[in-house]
Amino acid sequence: MTHAIEVEALCEDYRAKAGASVRALDGVSFAVPRGRIYGLLGPNGAGKSTLVKILGTITAPTAGRAAVLGFDVTREPLAARRQMAVVLQQTAAENLLTVRDNLLVYAYLHGVPRRAAHARMRTVVDEFELGARLRSTVQELSLGTKRRIQVAKIFMLDTPLVILDEATTGMDPLMKRRVMERLRAEARNGRTILMTTQVLSEAEALCDTIMILHRGRAMAAGTLNELRRRAAHTFRVTLTFARADGDLAQRLRALAPTEMKIDGHSAELLFHGEEAELLARLGDFSRTVPIAQFEVRGPTLEEIFVTLVAEPRPEAGA
Ligand SMILES: Nc1ncnc2c1ncn2[C@@H]1O[C@H](COP(=O)(O)OP(=O)(O)OP(=O)(O)O)[C@@H](O)[C@H]1O
Ligand SMILES: [Mg+2]
C-alpha cells in the first residue's frame, strides 16, 4: 500500500535579500505509513513550516520529491490537495465570515454536500464549544478561539491525511487535551496525522514516530524509544537520602552532573556518559552518603531534543 506521505531528498531554497539564498530544507527524506501520528519537532527556523507548505502544495520544492497518498505534490497538486486537510501556522480563518460560514464554506470547497456539511458542523460545533460564537465574525474572536476554528475545520472533512502546523498554540489546556484526544481517535479510524509542535510533552503523548529537524536536516527519526536509544548517554537520576547534611550539594556537585536540583532530602541530577561508569560513581558516593532510594531513567523527549540540537558551546576564553 502506498504511504500516506513520502518525501525524498527534499530541498527548499528561499531567495533572500541581495541575491543570497536561504536553504530551509536540505535533503530531507522520510515516509509516513497510513494511520500514524507523525510528529515533526525542531527549533525555530528548522524548516517545519516549509515542509508543511510543500506538502500542502502551497510552496514548490527547489529539489527532491514529495507525495501524499501516492500523488506527487508538484505534478498532481489538485489530486494531492484533495487528500488532506491542512492547518497552517499562520493561517487566519476567514476574518469577515462568521464561525458558521467558515466551517460550512470550508466543507463546500472540499466538495462535502450541503446536508452532510450541516450535520457535520453541528457535531464539530459541540465538540469545540463554538455554539455561542456561531454568528460572530472571526475578527471578533480571541486568538485561541480563532485557532480552535482552524482546527475544527479539519474535522469537517474526512480526508485521509491531516496536517497541523503548531495547531494547538494559544489554546487553553482543556481544549488542547480535547484536540489531542480527537486526533488520537482519528488515527485509530485510519486517518494519518502529521503535526509540528514545540510542545514536546504533546509530541511525547501523541506521536507514534517523531522526527527532529534542525537547520533543514533530519537529525533523528523514530519512535520515542528509538530516539531514547540514540540519546542513550543521557540519564536522569533521582536520589533520596535518609538525611540531608549541609555539604550534600557540594558532594553531589563532585559527581559532575550536567544539571542538579536539590529539594530537601532528594536530588535530581542529569548525567551524560556511560551508564556503567555512572553506576560505579554512584556506588562510591553511596558509601559516604547513604542513599535511601535511587532511580535512574532514560532521557525525556525534551532532553533528547536539547542533546540533538544544542549548539556546541564555544570553549572558554576562545
Ligand atoms: N518566505 C520566505 N522567504 C525567505 N526565507 C524564508 C521564508 N520562509 C521561511 N524562510 C526561512 O527558512 C527557514 C525555515 O523556516 P520555517 O518557517 O520553515 O521554520 P520553522 O521550523 O517552521 O520555524 P518556527 O518554529 O519558528 O515556526 C528559516 O531560516 C526562515 O527564515
Ligand atoms: Mg513554523
Comparing C-alpha atoms, which of 165, 171, 177, 114 is closest to residue 146? 171
Which residues, including other chains, have CB under 8 Å from residue 291's CB and lie 6 or more apart? Answer: 239, 240, 241, 282, 285
Give the model confidence (pLDDT) of 145-185 as tens digits.
888 999 999 999 999 999 999 988 888 889 999 999 999 99
Instruction: Report d(CA 61, CA 57) in Å as an integer.
Output: 9
Neighbours of 254 (CB within 10 A): 11
Let me know: does 304 contact 235? Beta carbons within 8 Å: no
Q: Which has the higher per-residue pLDDT, 119 or 234? A: 119
User: What is the reported pTM?
Assistant: 0.81
- 275-313 confidence digits (pLDDT tens): 788 888 888 888 888 888 888 887 777 777 877 777 554
Q: Is 42 in the pocket of ligand 1 (CB under 6 A)?
A: yes
The tally of CA atoms less than 13 A away on the side-chain side of residue 182 is 20
Question: For residues 21 and 13, is the Cβ–Cβ distance under 8 A?
Answer: yes
Ligand 1 centroid vs 42 CA: distance in angstroms?
A: 12
Contact by Cβ (8 Å): 61, 74: yes
Q: Residue 31 — φ and ψ, nearest 5°?
A: -135, 140
Query: Which one of 113-127, 224-238, 254-268 scores highest in mean pLDDT?
Result: 113-127
User: Is the Cβ atom of 50 under 6 angstroms away from ligand 1?
Assistant: yes
Q: Which residues surround ligand 2, an ion (CB under 5 A)?
A: 48-49, 89
Q: What is the DSSP letter of 216?
A: T
Start-to-end CA distance of the chain, whole Å, equals 54
Cell reading at 33: 505509513
User: What average pLDDT does range 43-55 have in this prediction?
Assistant: 95
What's the confidence (pLDDT) of residue 92? 63
**5: closest CA among 84, 59, 111?**
84
Task: Name the residue of 13, 21, 22, 62 to mutate for ligand 1: max ligand atoms within 8 A of Cβ.
Answer: 22
pLDDT tens per residue across span 191-250: 999 999 888 888 888 999 999 999 999 988 998 888 877 766 778 899 998 877 778 888
What pLDDT, on a 0 to 100 scale, did the predictor assign at position 315?
47
Q: Rounded distance, CA 11 to CA 21, Å?
A: 12
Give the per-residue pLDDT at 317.
39
Give the chain's domains with CATH numbers: 5-228 (3.40.50.300), 232-298 (3.30.70.980)
What average pLDDT does the segment 32-57 reach?
A: 95
Minimal-distance CA residue to ligand 1 atom 29:
45
CA atoms lying within 13 Å on the CB side of residue 104:
12
Report d(CA 112, CA 313) in Å as an integer: 54
Task: Say if residue 190's pLDDT is above 80.
Answer: yes
Strand 161-165 to 192-196 pairing: parallel
| More confident call, 270 vs 191 | 191
The whole-number pLDDT of residue 226 equals 84
Backbone torsions φ then ψ of 110, nearest 5 degrees: -95, 15
